[in-house]
Chains A and B, each alone.
Chain A
Amino acid sequence: MKDVESLERMASQVRRDVVRMVTQAGSGHPGGSLGIADVMTALYFSVMSHNPKEWRRDAVGQDAFILSAGHLAPVYYSVLARSGYFPVDELSTLRRMGSRMQGHPSVSDGLPGVFQPSGSLGQGLAVASGMALSKKMAGDPGRVYVLLGDGESEEGEVWESGMFARFHGLDNLVAFTDWNGKQIDGPVSEVAALEDLREKWLAFGWDVIEADGNDMASVLDAFALAVSADGKPKMILFRTEMGHGVDFMAGSHKWHGKAPNEEQCAAALGQLPETEGDFRQL
C-alpha cells in the first residue's frame, strides 16, 4: 500500500479505531493519536521494512519502531493490528484488566510489535539509539524509528540521547517529533517554551527535515528524505494538529487525555469514513 489515496483511507480507519477504543475504555489519550495518525499509517503501511507475521523482538533484519511518547498507545495499537501483528478485534480490549493493550505499551504480555515499554517520557530515544547502535555493530541494514512528543522534548534525557546518537554516527536512526504545540497543561509555548526545535536539533548535529504531518504526500516525502548515510541521525519535525480529523477536537489540548462520551464518539465517527471495517467488541 504505497499510494497516497489508499494510505489516507487507512488513516481514516485508524482514526475511527482510536476514537472507538478510547471511548470504550472510558479513558486514554485521543488528541495526540488523531494528530499523528497520518504519520503512523505511512510508517507502518509504506515506510518501514517489517514482517508482522514473523516479528521478533531483537529486530534482526527488520526495521524497528519505538514509541517514546507512550500515551500515543491507541494509534500505535491500531496500526499494529491493521498491519497484521494481531487480530483487529483485540483493539476492543484497550485498558481492560487482563488485556495485552495496556494503558501504555508493555512487553510483559508479549504483544507482537512492541519492542519496549514506554510511558515515562524522554526515554525512547535512548533505547532506539541502543538498537540502532546494535544494528551498526552487526552490519544489519535495518533502521530504527522513534516517535517523540514535542512536550516530551522538555525531558533532559532526550538531549543526552541527541548528543549520543550523533557522536556514535547513528545515521540509521530516524526520530520524528509530533510537533503539535500542545501538552497537558496547555500550549507548549506557555508551559515551557521549546523555542526553535529545528535550530536545536541542527545544533546537535542532526539532519533535520520539516513536514506537514497531516498531509500524506508531505509525510511520505519527509520519510524518503531521511535515508542519507552521512553519519548523522535524522529528525523529522512533523507539524501536526492535535485531534486532527474531528472538528470539535482539532487544535485543542483539552483532548490530550480525555475520552469522548458516546454522543461525542458518534459525532466524531460521522466525520471519519469507515474504510476497512470497524473492529468488533470482544
Chain B
Amino acid sequence: MKKYVDTGKKDTRSGFGAGLLAAGKADPAVVALTADLKGSLKMDAFAEAFPDRFVQCGIAEANMVGVAAGLAVTGRIPFCGSFAEFITGRVYDQIRQEVAYGHTNVKIASSHAGITLGEDGATHQTMEDIALMRAMPGMTVIVPCDYNQTFQATLAAARFKGPVYLRFGRPSVPNFTPEDEPFVIGKVAVLNPGGDVTLFACGHMVWEALQAAEILEKEGIGAEVVNVATIKPLDAEGVLRSVSATGAAVVAEEHNMAGGLGEAVAGVLASGRPAPVEFVNGGDRFGCSGTPAELLAAYGLDACHIAEAARKAVSRK
C-alpha cells in the first residue's frame, strides 16, 4: 500500500483562493466576482492584490453570472463564486444560456459543496450540483480532492479555454497530494495500485477511499484507488484500464445518487467493460444540520462504508 501523509488539514476552498491569486499574477485577464461571499470563497487575497479586477456583485447571483459572461465575451477570464447551491441550482438557466450555450470562458467557483457544509443545514447543502453541471453541454466539471489539488486545478481552469465548473468544500480535510503536481484536465490519477477492486472517488471521498484501501489490505483485498478529479469529460480510458484489471468497482462521492460520478463511471463500464459496481453516495435525500464528521458518518460517506461496498463488489465477481 502506497503511503499518503496528511501534511496538515486544510480546506479546499483555501486552495482555490491561493490558486486564484496565483492565476491572477500569471495572467492579467483573470478577474474574480462574488455575490457577497468574498471571505467564504477565500477571495480576499486576490481582491487586495488586484482591486481593479475584483467585482463585488452583492446578493444577486443571476446578475453575477451574466456579468461574468459579458466580461468573458470581451476577453477576460472571470471566476465567479458563491456557495455551490447558489451558483448552480439558483442560476441554472443563466449558466446554461450565457455560459454553456454562449461558449463563454467563465469559471464557476463553487464552494461549501456537499453535506460537509455542516451546521447551516439542507438549504445550503447541495448534493445535486454535479448532476446539474454534468447535464450542461460543453461544461467541464472538476472536483479536486484536497488543498494542493484545488490550487493546481484552479490554475489549470484559468489556462483552459471554455466553461469550467470547479467544486470545493468548507471543512478542513487532509492535504496529501504533491504540492507541485500540475493538474491535467480530463485524466484520472491512480493513487494506489491494487488488483482486486477499483475504488473511484472524487473530492473529500478520495482520502476516505485511501483509508478504505488500508482496511482492505489487512483483509488481503488489493484495492486500486483512482482519483477522478475531472468528472466531465470523464477519462473513460483510465476508468476502463483499471476495471479491466480489477474486475470490480466502487464509486464514492459526496453527492446525490442521481447524476453524479457514480452514474458517469457506471455508464462507461456498462458499455465498455461490464463489472460489478457498488455506490457510496448520499442517496436520494436532503442533508441536515450537524458537524461534517457527524454528517459523513450518518450518510454513510466514510472509509468503513467504502470498504464494505468493496467487499460486496468483490463478492459479486
Mark A residues whose CB is within 8 Å of B.
57-60, 106-108, 115-120, 122-135, 137-138, 156-157, 160-161, 163-164, 167-168
**B28-68 interface with A by 8 A CB criterion:** 31, 52-53, 55, 57-58, 60, 62-68
* CB–CB A134/B74 < 8 A: yes
Whether B73 pairs with A131 at a CB distance below 8 angstroms is yes
By beta carbon, the residue of chain A nearest B65 is A126
Query: In the complex, A58→B104 CA distance in Å?
Result: 11
Q: A120-B97, A123-B97, A127-B98 are in contact. List 7 more A-B contacts (CB 8 A).
A: A58-B75, A126-B64, A126-B98, A133-B55, A157-B63, A157-B66, A161-B63
Nearest B residue to A167, CB-CB: B58
A160 to chain B, nearest CB (A): 4
* Number of A-B residue pairs at CB separation under 8 A: 112
Residues in B whose Cβ lies below 8 Å from that of A161: 63, 66-67
Contact between A164 and B60, CB atoms less than 8 A apart = yes
Q: Are B76 and A134 in contact (CB under 8 A)?
A: yes
Taking A60-B75, A119-B97, A123-B94 as contacts, is the C-beta distance between A134 and B103 under 8 angstroms?
A: no
* Closest Cβ neighbor of B104 among chain A residues: A116
Give the shortest distance, in Å, between A130 (CB) and chain B (any CB). 2
The distance from the CB of B73 to the nearest CB of chain A, in whole angstroms, is 6
Decide yes or no whether B217 CB sits under 8 A from chain A.
no
Listed residue (A156, A160, A168) with the most chain B CB atoms within 10 angstroms of its CB: A160
User: Closest approach, in angstroms, between the C-beta of B100 and any C-beta of chain A?
Assistant: 10
B178 at the interface (CB under 8 A from A): no
29 contacting pairs across A/B (C-beta < 8 A): A58-B73, A108-B103, A116-B69, A123-B62, A126-B62, A126-B64, A126-B65, A127-B70, A127-B98, A129-B67, A130-B66, A130-B67, A131-B70, A131-B73, A131-B74, A133-B55, A133-B70, A133-B71, A134-B70, A135-B74, A137-B52, A137-B53, A156-B62, A160-B60, A160-B63, A161-B66, A164-B57, A167-B58, A168-B55
Asked if B283 CB lies within 8 Å of chain A CBs, one says no
Q: Do B75 and A128 touch (CB < 8 A)?
A: no
Q: A106-B101, A129-B67, A134-B70 in contact; A157/B62 too (CB < 8 A)?
A: yes
| Centre residue among B64, B66, B72 by max chain A CB count within 10 A | B66
Answer yes or no: B102 CB below 8 A from chain A CBs.
Answer: yes
Residues of chain B at interface, number, CB under 8 A: 32
Q: How far is the CA of A134 from the CA of B73 in the complex (A)?
A: 9
- A116 pairs with B62, CB closer than 8 A: no
Complex partner residue of A117 from B57, B76, B101, CB under 8 angstroms: B101
Cβ contact within 8 Å between A134 and B66:
no
Residue of A nearest to B103 (CB): A107
- B69: chain A residues at CB < 8 Å are 116, 126-127, 130
Question: What is the minimal beta-carbon distance from A95 to any residue of chain B, in angstroms?
Answer: 17
Known: A123-B66, A126-B66, A130-B68. Is A59-B97 also a contact (CB below 8 A)? no
Whole-angstrom CA separation of A116 from B71 in the bound complex: 12
A163–B67 contact, CB under 8 A? no
Task: Flag whether B120 is at the interface (Cβ < 8 A).
Answer: no
Given A123-B94, A130-B67, A130-B69, the answer on whether A59 and B60 have CB atoms closer than 8 Å is no
Q: Assess whether B179 is interfacial by the CB under 8 Å rule.
A: no
Chain B residues engaging chain A, CB cutoff 8 angstroms: 31, 52-53, 55, 57-58, 60, 62-76, 78, 93-94, 96-98, 101-104
* Bound CA–CA A135/B67 (angstroms): 12
Complex-state Cα separation, A117 to B95, whole angstroms: 12
Label chain A's interface by main secondary structure. helix
Q: Which residues of A contact B53 (CB under 8 A)?
A: 137
Q: Tell me the bound Cα distance from A175 to B76 in angstroms.
A: 22
- In the assembled complex, the Cα of A40 lies from the Cα of B52 at a distance in Å of 34
In whole angstroms, how far apart are the Cα atoms of A63 and B60 in the complex? 27
Chain B residues lying within 8 Å of A167, measured Cβ to Cβ, are: 58
What 9 A-B pairs have minimum CB-CB distances, sorted nearest first? Answer: A130-B70, A126-B66, A160-B63, A160-B60, A130-B67, A134-B74, A131-B70, A127-B70, A157-B62
Interchain nearest-CB distance for B243 vs A (Å): 36
A135 to B68, CA, bound (A): 13
A60 contact set on B, CB distance < 8 A? 74-75
Return A8 CB to nearest CB of chain B, in Å: 33
Q: Which residues of A contact B94 (CB under 8 A)?
A: 123, 126, 157
Residues A123 and B74 in contact in the complex (CB < 8 Å), given A129-B63, A161-B63: no
- Tell me the complex Cα distance, A107–B93, Å: 17
Q: What chain A residues lie within 8 Å of B73 (beta carbons)?
A: 57-59, 115-116, 127, 130-131, 134
B31: chain A residues at CB < 8 Å are: 137
- Known contacts A107-B103, A130-B68, A137-B53: does B63 contact A58 (CB below 8 Å)? no
Contacts of A163 in B (CB 8 A): 58, 60, 63
Q: In the assembled complex, which residues on chain B have CB atoms less than 8 Å from the CB atom of A57?
A: 73
Whether A107 touches B102, Cβ cut-off 8 Å, given contacts A58-B75, A115-B73, is yes
Question: Once bound together, how far apart are the Cα atoms of A108 and B138, in whole Å?
Answer: 12
Residues on A with C-beta less than 8 A from B103 are 107-108
Give chain B residues whose Cβ lies under 8 Å from the Cβ of A125.
66
Question: Which B-chain residue is minimally distant from A161 (CB atoms)?
Answer: B63
Residues of A within 8 A of B66 (CB): 123-127, 129-130, 157, 161
